[in-house]
């Protein structure tokens, strides 16, 4: 079996659902269930005995060590992270605790467990760390995309904390021999994404007739990766990735944020038209930009294609259609995650930006 951390969050939950669908191997899912961790995202599993859920913190060394000794997993996949840049600007300490201290303690537990294995178990064990393109910093318009050897230049508390965890993971391989893998992904989108991120926020606000906030001029460029493609890349890296290596995972879809908003509005115009025939584009509102907002990210994902044979299956056009339709079909899930705490956060983040 394998141990997944953060498996009730956006990417983690999608991975867990995909894993149980396509594999017979059991999975332990450790998640603290913070604001973005949601057991409703795992509801399609029902009472499936292949999925073992444990509520807990990756920073709880005793708990993680006990789980490793009890279940003897052949791999750990670490999704657990604080991941929203805006939240890291308002309250960075949680990012330091989870993304750095938590990752360190998880590595310590993994190292001790790995040393306890026999030679066969040691050879087969993997620690796969999920990271982000944001650790590389920002690109100018004509710059080539990020490769795995690009210099780290994080520019937000979030990306700095993830960069720190990446360095720790590599250090544990170099110093202790722990068989690690690191994947750095571009902007994910798809089902079960908490509506603080751009695409679900635009969908939710549009359906509620609220303004669609766009930072600055909306020309910040990102590489967009459908979450199902990300999950398949992680599975492939776990299968065939070389210990100590890093693999960039991207969608080959560079687009400005404003174009993303236009695409969502246009799809909603077709699928859930406004009364009177007006467009959802009329709700777009440009607001004061995020402090230190990186201008462009772009991923060169040729290494994972060349070495592991992986390439995304979805184009942005197919992926965004699936995403918008999912949010239209799952209004109960959307409504249940929009708690009072979520509404308070929106007010705090966007207050005074108009």
Instruction: Choose the catalytic residue: 57, 113, 148, 158.
Output: 158
d(CA 156, CA 292): 7
Burial (0-12, 13-18, 19+ Cβ within 10 Å), 41:
buried
Distance CA 234, CA 337 (A): 27
Q: How many CA atoms lie within 13 A of 224 on its CB side?
A: 24
3-state secondary structure 260-284: HHHHHHHHHHHHCCCHHHCCHHHHE
From residue 153, give the alpha-carbon distance in Å to each of 104, 229, 279: 21, 26, 40
From 82, 133, 254, 294, the catalytic residue? 133
3-state secondary structure of 298: coil
Q: Is 31 a catalytic residue?
A: no
Token output for 231: 């999950």
Neighbours of 303 (CB within 10 A): 17
Which tokens sit at 143? 């710059």
Identified catalytic residue from 134, 148, 166, 294: 134
Question: Residue holding tokens 């670490």?
Answer: 78
| Whether 134 is catalytic | yes
The residues assigned a catalytic role are 133-134, 158
């Amino acid at each position: 079996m394998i141990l997944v951390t953060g498996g009730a969050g956006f990417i983690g939950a999608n991975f867990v659902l995909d894993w149980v669908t396509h594999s017979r191997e059991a999975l332990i899912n450790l998640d603290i269930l913070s604001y973005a961790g949601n057991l409703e995202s795992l509801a399609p599993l029902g009472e499936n005995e292949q999925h073992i859920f444990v509520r807990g913190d990756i920073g709880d060394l005793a708990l993680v060590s006990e789980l490793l000794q009890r279940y003897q997993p052949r791999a750990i996949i670490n999704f657990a992270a604080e991941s929203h840049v805006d939240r890291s600007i308002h309250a960075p300490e949680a990012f330091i605790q989870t993304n750095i201290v938590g990752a360190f303690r998880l590595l310590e537990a993994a190292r001790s467990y790995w040393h306890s294995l026999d030679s066969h178990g040691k050879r087969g064990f993997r620690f796969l760390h999920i990271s982000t393109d944001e650790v590389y910093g920002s690109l100018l318009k004509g710059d080539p995309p990020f490769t795995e050897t690009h210099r780290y230049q994080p520019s937000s508390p979030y990306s700095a904390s993830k960069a720190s965890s990446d360095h720790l993971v590599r250090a544990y391989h170099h110093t202790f021999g722990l068989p690690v893998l690191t994947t750095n992904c571009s902007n994910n989108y798809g089902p079960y994404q908490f509506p603080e991120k751009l695409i679900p926020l635009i969908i939710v606000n549009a359906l509620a007739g609220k303004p669609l906030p766009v930072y600055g001029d909306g020309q910040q460029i990102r590489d967009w990766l459908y979450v199902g493609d990300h999950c398949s890349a992680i599975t492939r890296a776990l299968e065939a990735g070389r210990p100590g290596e890093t693999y960039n995972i991207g969608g080959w879809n560079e687009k400005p944020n404003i174009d993303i908003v236009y695409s969502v509005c246009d799809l909603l115009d077709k699928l859930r038209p406004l009364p009177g025939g007006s467009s959802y584009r009329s709700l777009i509102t440009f607001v004061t930009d995020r402090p230190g907002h990186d201008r462009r990210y772009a991923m060169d994902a040729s290494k994972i294609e060349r070495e592991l044979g992986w390439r995304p299956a979805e184009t942005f056009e197919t992926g965004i259609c699936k995403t918008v339709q999912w949010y239209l079909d799952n209004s109960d899930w959307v409504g249940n995650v929009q708690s009072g705490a979520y509404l308070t956060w929106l007010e705090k983040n966007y207050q005074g930006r108009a």
